[in-house]
Amino acid sequence: INDTQETIRFTDTKSGAVIVVAMGLIAGVVTLLDKYYTLLNQLMVLPKVIAIMGIIYFSVCLFISLILSLRSINPANNPNNHINIGDWQDMPNTKYYLSGLTSSMRWEDYLWELNDLKFSLSASKYYKSIEESNDSDLLKSLTLELLKLSYIKEKKMQRTKAALKWIEQCIWTAALTTIMVLITFNSEIALSWSVKNQDYEIFLFLIVGHAVGDFLLQTSWQAENKSRIWKALITHALVYSVVVYLMTLIAGGISLLSIVVIFLSHVLLDRGNIVKWWLKTIKKEQADNTQIRFLVDQSLHVLILLIVTIIN
């Protein structure tokens, strides 16, 4: 029980750290809001679209991370409702953790220590309940409290872990958005970008490069470990990007922005989180459905290549 309580305290500390980081990011954004707005108005069409999409996703990630951290520190449900008591006929009469005040808290009780506010259970009554309990009842009480604490610990850990992932998404989004805006800012792409004027013949060579890089040249080790090991993922994404670029040289090549988009999107998709989210949220399918997962993964890759064709 003591170890579980220490884990809960440590998890609360991590959640508090996430809240501090999130509030720091919010304060930084609010402080420089005027400068961001002025800079946004100076951007051309493509970098402005990239910046707006990045800002929206950054804000969503930040909000979700903050909410998860707050819910982790201050859960709103009773753990008793989430404990399966199995075949127990009766609940233990003796309580390990005591709670309740008589009478209820008033506004003045939050400011001063008033003598008429008492703990709900008297010492004599609690002593009597222990005296009347047998060893089995006491053991049940300890078991129940350990399970409740373990449930609280697990829920807090999962929420804090999710909050950390969302704050990580914030940082990655800010970095990638900045890089892509800098690449496209005042470039020929930003000045003359038009969907109608694109040479869609290059899309064919992108598809061929995709087939070669994603199937023929991907090793079994990379395929099995790219969702878990960064080395496998990065080496595969690099080989894939180089192969796709070499294929497009037949049709005149692609821009630096296109290469960056291909590499980063391939890393994000092959990491697996986006595909899992799409299966669960959009397709309403189980993530272990191999065929559907493969089709979703390949469809997203083809969609990225079409976007590359448009912006190239």
Partner residues linked to 101 by β-bridges: 119
Is the bond leading into 187 cis (omega within 30 degrees of zero)? no
The pair of structure tokens assigned to 267 is: 């890393």
Give the pLDDT band of residue 9 (cuts 50, 70, 90). Answer: confident
Rounded mean pLDDT of 46-53? 79
- What confidence tier does 188 reach under pLDDT thresholds 50, 70, 90? very low
Cβ-contact 303, 269 below 8 angstroms: no
pLDDT at 239: 92
Query: Whole-angstrom Cα distance, residue 146 to residue 159?
Result: 20
Convert 139-150 into a string of H (helix), E (strand) and C (coil).
HHHHHHHHHHHH
Lowest-confidence segment of 177-181, 214-218, 223-227 by average pLDDT: 177-181
Q: What is the pLDDT of residue 117?
A: 76
**Most confident by average pLDDT, 72-76, 118-122, 188-192, 241-245:** 241-245
254-267 average pLDDT score: 86
Q: Taking a C-beta distance cutoff of 8 angstroms, is the pair 62, 25 a contact?
A: yes
pLDDT digits (tens, 9 = 90+) for 160-174: 888 888 888 888 888
The rounded mean pLDDT for the chain is: 78
pLDDT band at 4 (very low <50, low <70, confident <90, very high): low
User: Which two tokens mark 200?
Assistant: 């869609």
Q: Which two tokens stand for residue 227?
A: 């969702």
Query: How would residue 91 be classed by pLDDT, with cut points 50, 70 and 90?
Result: low
Give the mean pLDDT of 59-68.
Answer: 87
**pLDDT digits 0-9 by tens, 228-238:** 888 999 999 99
Q: What is the pLDDT of residue 178?
A: 79
Instruction: In whole angstroms, give the CA distance from residue 65 to residue 49.
Output: 24
Token pair in block for residue 236: 């595969």
Q: How large a percentage of the chain has pLDDT more than 70?
A: 83
Position 255, amino acid: S
DSSP symbols for the chain: -HHHHHHHHHHHHHHHHHHHHHHHHHHHHHHTHHHHHHHHHHS-HHHHHHHHHHHHHHHHHHHHHHHHHHHHHS--S-GGGG---TT-SS--SS-SS---EES---GGGGTS--TT-EESS-HHHHHHHHHT--HHHHHHHHHHHHHHHHHHHHHHHHHHHHHHHHHHHHHHHHHHHHHHHHHHTTSHHHHH--STT--THHHHHHHHHHHIIIIIS--HHHHHHTTT-HHHHHHHHHHHHHHHHHHHGGGT---HHHHHHHHHHHHHHHHSHHHHHIIIIII---TT-HHHHHHHHHHHHHHHHHHHHHH-
Encoding tokens for residue 167? 């704050």
> Mean pLDDT lowest for which of 62-71, 137-146, 178-187, 283-292?
178-187
Q: Confidence class of residue 193 from pLDDT cuts 50, 70 and 90? A: very low
Residue 14, Cα to own-chain centre: how many angstroms?
Answer: 15
What the block records as the tokens of 178 is 């900045």
Residue 295 has pLDDT above 90, yes or no: no
Query: Is 0.75 topped by the overall pTM?
Result: no
- Pairing relation of β-strands 118-119 and 101-102? antiparallel
Q: Confidence class of residue 1 from pLDDT cuts 50, 70 and 90? A: low
Distance CA 265, CA 301 (A): 8
Confidence of residue 283 (pLDDT cuts 50, 70, 90): confident
Q: Which of 140-149, 181-190, 290-299 has the highest mean pLDDT?
A: 290-299
pLDDT at 284: 78
